[in-house]
Structure 1
Amino acid sequence: MSVEKVDTLVVGAGQAGVAMSEHLSNCGVPHLVLERSRIAERWRSARWDSLVANGPAWHDRFPGMEFPNCHPDSFPAKEAVADYFAAYAEMINAPIRCGVEVRKVSKRAGWIGFHVETSDGQIEAKNVVAATGPFQIPVIPPIIPADTNILQIHSSAYRNPGQLPDGAVLVVGAGSSGVQIADELSRAGKRVFLSVGPHDRPPRSYRGRDFCWWLGVLNKWDAETRGPGQEHVTIAVSGARGGETIDFRRLASQGLTLVGRTDRFENGKLFFALDLAENIARGDANFLSLLDEADLYVARYGLDLPEESEARSIEGSHACIDHPLEELDLSAAGVTAVIWATGFATDYSWLEVDVFDERGAPHHSRGVTAEPGIFFLGLPWQSRRGSSFIWGVWHDAKHLADRIATQRKYMEYHTAMQRAAADA
């Protein structure tokens, strides 16, 4: 059986893989990108129908191309985002091979590089970049038994309200996905319970500028480490309906019943932590602190941005917040479906190299591992807060491509010296 040889193999053709290909090409590094499905497939098939980008088109893109047919301040629909990456890959002539699954990567004993088993044959690569991102295995906490007569799906499997059976819905998770799905179901006439955990809640916009702009000028996107207690805090923001600030009190006024963090299930009942008011207060504090920093920035630099005093007004509380449910009898409440917006786990079972910590997470520095030739791209906080965003992954890819190109030059020198010695 013939074995294909490549210098650098990139696994995954989402935003990370496309960005990696661009920078490897710019550095003159021969490479191949393998994608088991289509370019940016998760944007097409692992998102709900009405999803739009959470960042505006001017911000959440690569530097080399704007979103076509989109106003800079609009929020592109999911298909437009997928089409953007496909068009970008075509523009840079990325060597992407779709429909090929990488099944195993192992170190070549006594040789530089790695042996790669794919669904389309064998490959030998000097470098392997795992660009599969952090959203690989949907996580559903083992709280409600699977044999309970209730539909349980992960947010990645949700498509639209018509997919669900008649009856009420519990949405677990108050990040961007959970809030937007709960809001959509409520607007469709469903009775919705929303389980709210710790979260950050930035303003969608303030004083005429999107929060993405504020995080940029305040250097928050470039923060290199999470603050204390921020390891598992999600962010609640939405580009739906032209972009809006997530306001849990508004959702309660709209008819949603807010509950605390989902804790346990016993005898047909779900029990919730009594942390709802605390979680909402924490989100409010995060919201107001960003407004404070923005106002100081405007004053310091004398920017001509209109004041927005009404932004600080917080709607009055609601009964479900003041007197939160401690338990919910799912049958009595008519709950027929639970949507778990509880995040994802990674799956690197195909990567058989010693680069993982005791939790199975990649051990790396800005995507560079202790195993020469193994790199990661697209991880949250890979180098900064913005690393898992479209523009952030582009910059991280440049760093990795530079590292690969530099090592390649050292090996080229080594080969040249060996040839010179042989000819002497």
Structure 2
Amino acid sequence: MTQPHALRSPYQASSEKPLLVCFSHLRWDFVWQRPQHLLSRATKHYDVLILEEPMFKAGIKPHMDVSTRPQGVTIAVPMLPEGLSQEDIIAEQHDLIEGLIGRESNGSRVFWYYTPMAMAFTSDFECDLCIYDNMDELSLFRGASQQLLDLEGALFSRCDLVFTGGMSLYEAKKNRHRSVHGFPSSIDFNHFSQARSIHQEPEDQAHIPHPRLGFFGVVDERMDIDLLAEVADRRPDWQFIMIGPVVKIDPATLPQRSNIHWLGGKPYNELPHYLSGWDVGFMNFALNEATKFISPTKTPEFLAAGVPVVSTPITDVVKPYGEKGLVEIARDAEEVVAKVETILGRPKEAWLAKVDRHLAQGSWDKTWASMHKLMLDTTGETTADRPAAASLPIYATTPAE
């Protein structure tokens, strides 16, 4: 539950830690993914302020809605009246952000961008370090505009560091900036590994027969819903459990079958309870422009939960997971059926031991620590220059939602 507080102008940090301002196209309370994993850990070293995209309501005056979250971040949402032109929306966001944090940097200030679109109303604000955490190739998503491409170019010109959400995206962006670093999706192992020992299933899943194939994540144009329908038709005795919010596509287009169960979005802390009852993870990503450079966070999350996975040949899943025999790769419905049958018929122990050896190499804690070191190196600081942060551990507890 959020705790609203009075808006102070300019923004007053709650401690002596530097201010990190994140400009995000994703809502903090939407799906727990890369931004939440990283920025909840960043609170150990920074006062983290998340500036989200505006929300519109009829008859209101422009204002900033500010609230806090249990993970230690502050969320600011521009609240704007309906009916504004695009030009006015940009101008109002600029003025509200200036009123919140000030145009000039008073002390150390980091800008952390997830969306280049924010450059339209923040390019004249000062910061001491500018970072672009490029988690997706947004230009290839449905509805992407030329303006997005232009603003991304401006962001590349401004930023000091570029992080990419996968190695294929790193290869695509490494020549566009002097300091690009690949940070593929990592894992909150302790959270998802709970699924290995949970025996009480959620009520909306407990009645569904086995074998079960499950998916969790955003349901959008990146999902191959035709592949899902074909596999479900080929094996009507298999049950398909689909968890996640439906966005940017018409829910009416989703295949409806007696063995396909659309359970909607679930809180992050409930996911291990659902995964505990799945026999196979099904990552039925479409092979299209929107998935060309994705590095699905759910790949290591499935594995940490002890759930074997069949995936379509997404580049960052094939390498390393497919090549190492950790994930089965299937190109069509016939191959999906064959791979699932292989998984259902084989012992799990040897595969799981191999999975755990691989997952031990990385974590979101290590990812954030590596990012933070690059940030300090870029500004010429060391952790010794930050006494308030140096005594704190790098890791964060499992987020509560």
TM-score by length of 2: 0.31
TM-score by length of 1: 0.29
Query: Which structure is higher in RCO with an 8 Å CA cutoff and minimum separation 6?
Result: 1
